[in-house]
Amino acid sequence: MWLAKASSQNRALRWKRDSAGKIVTELAEVNYADGTMRTVRRPLLEIFAPIKPMEVEPGTVARGSATCPITGFTTPVSSIRRQLKLRAGGAADARLLAIRQSNPKINDRSYRSPNLTDETAADLAKRQIDARSQATDGIRSLLPNEPLPPAGGLGFRVQPYGMVQWKHLFAPRQQLALTTLTQSINRASTTRRARHRPRK
């Protein structure tokens, strides 16, 4: 649940609770990467500045198993792997939990909860990357579709969760940034070649 551990700025996530201490939830329609849509009850989170480490609750995952903060039910790692394999690891439909903002002028960073504009931008990135996933640069896909090394190779141990290509390591917004950079480099390279082409 930690976002940042620093002497000047400790930040973490915690569950929003009502006056009785019960976790507050909301109903949400979620489109998953395997093509299914579900109505889920999501626990709400808030960002806070813990003074002591003990104020930060444990996360929801331990040794690959995931525990629901609402019901307390623990899904074993075998089921987690089976579910995430269908969604190529889940990066494409992961929930946006926090926004990090940086101010390089004063070397400062801060965290805030996502708002509707952030959610809309994330959804738009998903749609744009779906469209770009069919595009090519004339040689290969703009997305890094190459396979990851075998499980354990180069320290990667995500393959059992369905992350078998390099692109699976990135969320749609990151994929969009990568493909935009690739397109810009390709255009610059084409322009440079055209300028230096010998004239007849």
Nearest to 140 by CA among 170, 105, 107, 179: 179
pLDDT, residue 141, reads 72
Look up residue 141 and give its two tokens: 């896909």
pLDDT tens sequence across 2-35: 999 886 789 999 999 999 999 999 999 988 888 8
Residue 99 near residue 118 (C-beta atoms within 8 A): yes
Nearest to 100 by CA among 47, 51, 54: 47
The DSSP code for 165 is B
pLDDT, residue 45, reads 96
Burial 55-85 (b: 16+ CB within 10 A, else e): ebeeeeeeeeebeeeeeeeebebeebeebbb
The pTM of this model reads: 0.78
Residue 118 corresponds to which amino acid? D
pLDDT, residue 125, reads 92
Tell me how far apart the alpha carbons of residues 111 and 188 are, in angstroms, rounded to a whole number. Answer: 35
Tell me how far apart the alpha carbons of residues 49 and 47 are, in angstroms, rounded to a whole number. Answer: 7
pLDDT tens sequence across 118-163: 999 999 998 888 887 776 655 567 788 899 998 877 788 899 999 9
Nearest to 42 by CA among 81, 16, 9: 16
Q: What is the mean pLDDT of the chain?
A: 88
pLDDT, residue 138, reads 55
Residue with tokens 């990357």: 129
